[in-house]
Amino acid sequence: NSPLGNLYRLPPPEIRQIVDAPPLPALSFSPQRDKILFLKRRALPPLSELARPEEKLAGMRIDGKCNTRSR
């Protein structure tokens, strides 16, 4: 048992800023290398997405809502 009990603790603001910072965009080049596509992505999925039910099939996790692999 922890002396603080089972309280949820937040890290210091400096650490939260690092974790919550948006990720750098990924780059994708055209085959001729004359165009660049900047791809934005999420840093972390929201908890509501992680908590959705999933189906398990042949070792894969499937999100039944959008019929894709989950996580």
pTM of the predicted structure, to 2 decimals = 0.43
Averaged pLDDT for residues 47-51: 82
Would the pLDDT of 44 be above 90? no
The 8-class DSSP code of residue 2 comes to: -
- pLDDT-wise least confident of 1-5, 19-23, 51-55, 57-61: 1-5
What whole-number distance in Å separates Cα of residue 9 and Cα of residue 27? 36
Local confidence band at 5 (pLDDT 50, 70, 90 cut-offs):
low
Q: Give the N- to C-terminal CA distance of the chain in Å, as an integer.
A: 32
Q: Which residue has the higher pLDDT, 26 or 2?
A: 26
Q: Which residue has the higher pLDDT, 71 or 44?
A: 44
Q: What is the secondary structure of 5-70 as a DSSP string?
A: -S---PPPHHHHHHHHSPPPPEEEE-TTSS-EEEE---SS--HHHHTS--EEETTEEEETTTTEE-
